[in-house]
Structure 1
Amino acid sequence: MKRSKIKTILIGLGRICSSLEEDPFRKKPCTHMGVLASEWGKDRFEFVLGLDTKSEKCESFQSFWKEKTEIISSDPTKVTLPKSIQLAVISTPSAYHEEWAKHCIRQGIPNLLIEKPVALTESGAKRIQKLAKKNNTRIWINHERRYHPSYQYVRDQLTTGKLGNLKSLRASVFTSAKNPGLAFSKLGGGPLLHDGTHAVDLIHWILGKPKLVDAKLESPKKNSIESRAVAWFRSKSGVDVFLDVAGERDYFQFELDIHTDTHRIICSNDGFQFYQSETSKLYKGFRSLVPYLPPQFPKPETANAFIGIYDEIFQVIMGNKNTMEGTLSDNIEILNLIESIYRRKQ
C-alpha cells in the first residue's frame, strides 16, 4: 500500500532552509530542504513549492535542488498560498515570523514549522497562539537540539537521576560578530534573542521555567541592541543557572556545562564530554572527576536533529502520535524569560 505523503511548502529559502546543506563539514541533512530531499524525507513528504521575496535566493535554490520556486511579495497578505498544503515551513528572517504564521493559519494550513524565535516578542507569540487555537493549527518551533539524540540522552539521564542530583548549569553562546549590537539591529532583537534562544530553550527543557535572579546587558552605544547578555536564574528545585551570550569572539561556541553532585557533563557543538566522581589519584582522601563515555550514549552517525523534528511532525500528522516537543506554550515562556533579561537593561 502506497504511503500518503505530506504536501509541504517552504517560505524563506535562505541558510537554514537550504544553503547550509552546501557546508561540507555539517552532518546531513542540516536544512529543511535537505530533509525533504533526502530518501527518508521523499518517502514521507511531498515538496510543492519554495517561496522567497528575493530573486537571487529563488534562483540559487532552484539551481541546487532542481525544484520549483516563486518570488513573492514581502507582504504576506498579498500572497495566495497553494491549495491542499498540509505543512508550511517558515524560515524567513525572525522579524517576519509572526505575520507569515498568521497568514498561513488564515489560509487554512493545518500544520506549521517555524524557525526560532517564533516571534520577536512574547505578545507576538501569544497572538499566533490565539489564532492557532481558533483554527486548530498545530505549530512546531525549530529548537532542533530538543530532537538531537545526544541532548535527549543527557536530559533523560538528568531527569531520572542517573547522573546524580543537578546542582548548577552554565550556558554560553558566543559568536564571531565583531559588533553584534549593530549586526542584529535590522532584524529586531539582539544575539540573546537570535542565538541565545537555543540555550534558554534547553534550560527550560531540562529544568522547567526558572526565575530570573539578576541580569545585565552590555551595548556598544546607548539604546542599541546588546553586544552581550549575562543572566542568573534559579529553578524551582534550587538549581542555579548562569547564561552568557555575546559576540566579539574569534570563534563560535555553544555549550552547556552541567554539574550534579556526582557528575559533570559538557554538551557542546564541539562534542559531548562526561566525567564521574572516582577516588582521586591526585589527592589522598579526595574524589576527583574522571572522564568516561557512557556505553548507551548515541553514536554520532545515528544523531540527526532535523530528522528528529520532521519525524515527530510526520507521526503527529499521520495520527501515530499525539504529543509534541517544544510547544508554542513552551516558547511563550522562553520569550518571557528572554524579555525578563531585556527588562533588566542597565
Structure 2
Amino acid sequence: MKRSKIKTILIGLGRICSSLETDPFRKKPCTHMGVLQSDWGKDRFEFILGLDSHSEKCESFQSSWNLPAETVHPDPSKFSLPKSIQLAVISTPSVSHENWAIHCITQGIPNLLIEKPVALTESGAKRIQKHAIKYNTRIWINHERRYHPSYKYVKEQLTKGNLGKLKSIRASVFTSAKNPGLAFSKLGGGPLLHDGTHAVDLLHWILGKSKLVDSRLERPKKGATESRAVAWFRSMEGVDVFLDVSGGRKYFQFELDLHTDSHRIICSNDGFQFFQSQTSKLYKGFQSLSPYDPPDFPSPETANAFLGIYDEIYQVIKGNKQKMEGTLSDNIEILNMIESIYRKKR
C-alpha cells in the first residue's frame, strides 16, 4: 500500500536547510532538505517548494538538489503559499522567525517546524503561541539534540533512577565566533541566544523550569553583544546548574557534565563518557569514579537527531502519536530563562 506523503515547503534555503549537507564529517542527513531527499524522507514527505529572498541561495539550492526551476522562488514576500501544504519548515535568520511563523499560521498551514530560537524574545514567542492557539497549529522547534538517541538514553536512565540522584550540571558552549552579531535585539545578545539556547533547552528538558540564582555578562565594549555569559540556575528539585557560554574561543565545544550521587555522565560533541562509583584503588576506605561502557548505550549508527524530529512530526501528523517534544510552551520558558540572564547582567 502506497504511503500518503506530507506536502512540505522550506522557507530559508541556507546552511541548516541545505548547504551543511556538503560537510564531509557530519552524519547524514544533517539538514532539512537532506532529510526530505533521503530515501527515508522521500517515502514520507513530498518537497513542494523552496523560498528565499536571496537569489544566489535559490540558485545554489536548485543546483545542489537538481530541482525544477518552478520549485524554487526568490521573492517569498510576494508569493502565495499553496493551500495543500501540510508542513512549513522555517529556517530563515532568527530575526524573521516570528513574522514568518505568524504568516504561515494565518495562511492555514497546520504544522510548522521552526529553527531555534523560535523568536528573539519571550514576548515574540507568546505572539506566535496566541496565533497558533487561534488557528489550531502544531509547532515544533528544532532543538535537535532532544531527538538524538544518545541524549535520549541519558535522560531515560536519569528518569528511571539508574544513574543515581542528579546533584549538579555544568553546561558549556564555546564557539570561535568573535562577532556573533546583534541576535537579541531588545536585550543585547550573541552566543547565548545562538548556540547557548541548545544547552538551555537540554537543561529544561532534563530538569524542567529552573530559577536563575546569579549571572554575569562580559562585553568587549559598552553596548556590544556579549562575548561571554555565565549563569547559575537552580531547579525546583534543588539541582544546581552552572552555564558558561563564550564566543571567543579558538574551538567549538558543546558539553553537559552531569553529576549524580553515584555517577558522572559527560555528554559532548566529542562523545559520551560514563563513570560510576566503585571502591577506590587510590584511597583506602573511599569510593572513586571509574569509567565504564553501558551495554545498552545506542550505537553511533543509530544516532541521527534530524531523522528523529522528522519521524515525530510524521507520526503526529498521521495520528500515530500525540506527544510532542520541544513544544512552543517549552521554548517560551527557555527564552524566559535566557532573558533572565540578560536582565540580571552586571
Fold match (TM-score > 0.5): yes
1:204 lines up with 2:204 in the alignment: yes
Larger deviation: 21-30 or 284-293?
Answer: 284-293
Q: What displacement does 1:83 show?
A: 2.3
Aligned position for 2:181: 184
Do structure 1's residue 69 and structure 2's residue 72 form an aligned pair?
yes
Shift of 1:79: 3.2
Structure 2 SS opposite 1:258: strand
SS in 1 for 2:214: strand
**Residue 236 of structure 1 corresponds to which residue in structure 2?**
236
SS in 2 for 1:296: coil
Distance in 2 of aligned mates of 1:186 and 1:296: 40
Amino acid across the alignment from 2:118: V
1:187 shift after superposition: 7.1
Question: Equivalent residue for 1:106?
Answer: 106
| C-alpha contact 2:171 2:199 (8 A) present in aligned 1 | yes
| Alpha carbons 2:184, 2:193 under 8 Å: kept | no
* Local SS of the residue matching 2:289: strand
**Alpha-carbon distance in 1 for matches of 2:100, 2:79:** 10
Partner of 2:144: 144
% identity of equivalent residues: 79
Q: Is the 8 A contact 2:183 2:193 kept in 1?
A: no
Q: Structure 1: how far apart are the matches of 2:340 and 2:79? A: 35
TM-score of the superposition, structure 1-length normalised?
Answer: 0.97
Distance 1:186 1:304 in 2: 28
Matching residue's letter, 2:200: V
Distance in structure 1 (CA, Å) of the matches to 2:212 and 2:184: 25
Gaps of 5+ in 1: none
Distance 1:41 1:140, change over 3 A: same
Judged with a 3 Å threshold, the aligned counterparts in structure 2 of structure 1 residues 48 and 187 are, in CA distance, closer, same or farther, namely: farther
CA distance in 2 between partners of 1:186 and 1:287 (Å): 46
Cα distance in 1, alignment partners of residues 87 and 58 from structure 2: 20
2:183–2:194: 8 Å Cα contact kept in structure 1? no
Which residue in 1 is equivalent to 2:49? 49
Q: Any gaps of 5 or more consecutive residues in structure 2?
A: none
Counterpart secondary structure, 1:112: strand
Cα distance in 1 between the residues matched to 2:190 and 2:80: 32
- In the TM superposition, residue 186 of structure 1 has moved relative to its aligned partner by 6.2
CA contact (8 A) 1:94 1:187 kept: no
Equivalent position of 1:193 in the other structure: 193
Indicate the SS of the match to 1:151.
helix
Name 1:293's counterpart in structure 2.
293
**Residue 72 of structure 1 aligns to which amino acid in structure 2?**
D
Matches of 1:286 and 1:309, distance apart in 2: 44
- Between the two proteins, the alignment pairs up a number of residues equal to 340
TM-score using structure 2 length: 0.97
**What amino acid sits opposite 2:110 in the alignment?**
P
Partner of 1:331: 331
- CA RMSD in angstroms, aligned pairs only: 1.0
SS for the counterpart of 1:324 is coil
Letter in 1 for 2:72: T
